[in-house]
Amino acid sequence: MSVEPVILVTGASRGIGHAAVELLLNGTEKFGKARVVALQRTLPEPLVELAARSDGNLALVQGDVTNPEDNARAVSTALDRWGHIDALILNAGIIIEERIADSNLERFAHVLNVNTVSLIATLKAALPALRASKGRVVMVSSGAATGRTSAWSAYNASKAALNAIARTLANEEPEIAVFSVRPGVVYTEMQTEIRAGTAMSAEEKEKFLSLHREGKLLAPRLPAHVIAALAMNGTRESPVMPDGTGMGATGGFLYWDVEQLADFRE
């Protein structure tokens, strides 16, 4: 049984998930070191190197979040190695751009499957261990959860549903703290895909192009720090919302940069 917290992260091959894993392995001023199991379809060189430098503290599981067997393998990897799981960071996600009139139903369903149905698959596999540790779940949401960007109907719907699952989970599991975090516009491959898209309106696309041109995309490390810190230190009682409720008890949806999350930022 390891003393350090054990955290299961989905989608750590690049972007926000990769940044969160690096922070968890190294520890920061706000939280100590963790042991990590990372589940993603590909194992690019930087991730394999991170595992090689981790003194055995990063276990890589190659698999798909939509596959219950791959989720079960990630959970059993953590339990076999370290005996417990203290938090999940449900970060894996994809985006497609398709206007509703031109939608392909299979692609639409695939986005919902990866971004939303997979949350249930990972949770089903990990909940017994999380109940035992009275652990934490951090879901990586998006402004799209309440947005209306054209050509993003599948992505918008998938993140709105993620927020609904976070709220419901917090209600169903009284000893688990649940958070849904909106990470801002972050410098990752997903943004490269968004800038290359052709289906959203010219004005909407210009917002993303200009953020990139002006160097205003966030470094993945910044929202990843909040996400990792909530996975390490979040509770049902904190952070406290303006109405006095603890965000972890409601599965609340918060932008990474709000005042309530100051203690969790770098």
Residues interacting with ligand NAP, by CB under 6 A? 10-17, 40-42, 64-66, 91-94, 114, 140, 142, 183, 185-186, 188-191
Nearest distance from C-beta of residue 12 to ligand NAP, angstroms: 6
- Burial code (b: 16+ CB inside 10 Å, e: under 16) for 132-161 equals eeebbbbbbbbebbeeebebbbbbbbbbbb
Angle subtended by helix axes 221-233 and 15-26, to nearest 10: 50
For ligand NAP, the closer CB: 10 or 233: 10
Of 236, 222, 235, the C-alpha closest to 265 is 222
CA dihedral 68, 70, 72, 77 (to 10 degrees): -170
Nearest distance from C-beta of residue 98 to ligand NAP, angstroms: 16
Distance CA 5, CA 133 (A): 10
Structure tokens given for 229: 């810190």
Active site positions, annotated? 141, 155, 159
Nearest distance from C-beta of residue 139 to ligand NAP, angstroms: 8
For ligand NAP, the closer CB: 114 or 123: 114
Nearest distance from C-beta of residue 64 to ligand NAP, angstroms: 4
For ligand NAP, the closer CB: 130 or 185: 185
For ligand NAP, the closer CB: 73 or 134: 73
Of 144, 50, 43, 37, the C-alpha closest to 97 is 144
Structure tokens given for 237: 């009682």
CA dihedral 50, 43, 255, 250 (to 10 degrees): -100
